[in-house]
Structure formats: C-alpha cells, structure tokens
Amino acid sequence: MKDSFQNDVCAEAAARAAGVRVRELTALSEFEEVHRLFDAIWHPEPGNPPISLDTMRALSHAGDYVAGAYQGDRMVGASVAFFGAPPGQVLHSHLTGASAGRGIGFALKLHQRAWALAWGLDRITWTYDPLVRRNAHFNLVKLGARPEEYLPCFYGAMDDAINAGDESDRVLAVWRLSEPQVVAAARGVRCLPGVPPDAVAGLTGRDGLPVAGPADARVVLVAVPPDIETLRRTDPAAARAWRRAVRDVLGGLMEEGARVAGFTGEGDYIVERAA
C-alpha cells in the first residue's frame, strides 16, 4: 500500500506544480501548525477552533488522515479526514484549508485521493456551501466531484468570520475516485459538460437578487451569486434571499431525485431530472 501511495503520478505532479510537499502529520507541533493555519483562514470565535489539537492527535493515532502541504518549512495547507460508512469504502474529508490561488488545495486533494485509493477506498465525501461559487467550481469542475445530497442548516449557527450571519446549508459532495471524469480531472482535465439546448433557467440573478424561473424541465440551470461571502457583509438581505432561493430550487430538485451533472463557467449548477 505504502509504495503505491507514494508513487502516485498525479499527486506528485500536482504537488510539483503548486511548489509544495504534501505529507501526513503525526506530531503535536504539526497539529499546532494546522491550528494556526485554520485560525488564519476561518477566524473562528476564541475557544471554538474548526478542529481541536486533541481531535487531530486522536484521528492521526487511530490511522485516519491528517496531512499538511509545505512550501519550504512553512505550512500553507492542511486537510483532516476520517473513515466513514460503509466501512472500507469511504473517507470523509472534514476540513481542508489552503492558501488560495496557487494549486495547493488541488495538490492536497490529490494526495488525499492517492491515500484513499491505497487503502482500497472508492470514494471521498465532504460538505461545502453550495452558494460559494469558487468552491462549487473547484469541487465539480477541477475535481470532478458531484453533489448528491442537500443538507439545510447542517451545522446550525456558525460564528466564524466567513459564515457568520448566514445559515449553514451544505451539499454533500461525493468524489468517486475511479470514475472517468475524476481520473481525467486528476490529470488536469477540467470537467465542463455542455449545457443541453433544452435547459431552462430555474434560478438566475438580476440586479444582485435571485429570480426564480421554471424548474419543471428535463435540465434546469441554478445560478449562484458571484461572491456570497462579500454579499453577506455588504447586503445581508440579498445574501439571505439567495440562500432561500438556492435552498428552494437546488435543494428542492435534489430532494425530488434530480442529479447535479456539472457546473458551468458562468456559475450555474446543471441539474438533470431522472429519465
């Protein structure tokens, strides 16, 4: 297992492109680095870190996944994941944070994929805010993952600097590690499916606000705002309107059994109803 994990060509190439080394973490001093990095990313309330030192220590000691990305001696990204259900099939990625815009997050995810494959797992899951356009693009386009469940108010009230003042809706992303689009994504091929000509706009934006349209077609496009995090600060009412609208349209379609097939370059989820 160890040799196949260490020799994963795609993970090694992604790390080189980002200028980092990615490795598993086991020492308390390394977990303290993760704590400082995550604190700088999320700015949580004092005493309420995204993950505690003792939890990272316990997960690492139990054989779960705790890894860091380094540029020289400086940690610039980290990821924490644990085995999920069904046993022997799933790794759940609880937290991944990295310096933006350098390919570090991609290198971390490919390291995580190589680790999971070496353990014989076939998928990795995680949650993300469906309104954060850059995360949707990263997860669906760059990684080839797909949202498979809409989870309203999943974490309850959150007080960190990124999420404060909004409800914590999430979607469950599922990364099926050996599917063709994921294998291609690991090699750097972005997953941008075409939009069928009969697609309808189930949700669009106009003057900064969401506008609902018909959602009863075979393929429905569901828009998200360009920058929900800034909108939370500058226009909280508009941010709340987008939250409700995406929950109603995207969440409603997924609850009915529709499948998210991709994400467009313009910022729309492509949602397909079952045949």
pTM of the model: 0.92
- Identify the three-state secondary structure at position 102: coil
Per-residue model confidence as pLDDT tens digits over 107-151: 999 999 999 999 999 999 999 999 999 999 999 999 999 999 999
Structural tokens at position 145: 């993952």
Q: Sorting pLDDT into bands at 50, 70 and 90, what band is 74?
A: very high
Output the pLDDT for position 3: 47
The rounded distance, in Å, linking the Cα atoms of 272 and 80 is 32
Domain locations in the chain as residue ranges: 2-186, 200-272
Structural tokens at position 100: 């933006």
Name the helix (H) or strand (E) containing 114: helix 104-118
Residue 2 contacts residue 118 (beta carbons within 8 Å): yes
- Please name which of 216, 214, 130, 200 lies closest in space to residue 171, comparing C-alpha atoms: 130
Output the pLDDT for position 46: 82
Q: Kindly compute the dihedral angle of the four CA atoms of residues 178, 184, 190, 195, in this order, to the nearest 10 degrees.
A: -70
Output the pLDDT for position 187: 96
The rounded distance, in Å, linking the Cα atoms of 143 and 137 is 9
Top-level CATH class of 2-186? alpha beta
Name the helix (H) or strand (E) containing 153: none
What angle is formed at CA 68 by the lines to CA 28 and CA 155, rounded to 5 degrees?
85
The rounded distance, in Å, linking the Cα atoms of 88 and 96 is 22
Kindly report the average pLDDT of the chain as a whole number.
Answer: 93
Per-residue model confidence as pLDDT tens digits over 2-42: 445 666 999 999 999 999 999 999 999 999 999 999 999 98
- Please name which of 8, 163, 161, 177 lies closest in space to residue 81, comparing C-alpha atoms: 177
Single-letter residue type at 39: D
Cα 218 versus chain centre, distance: 26
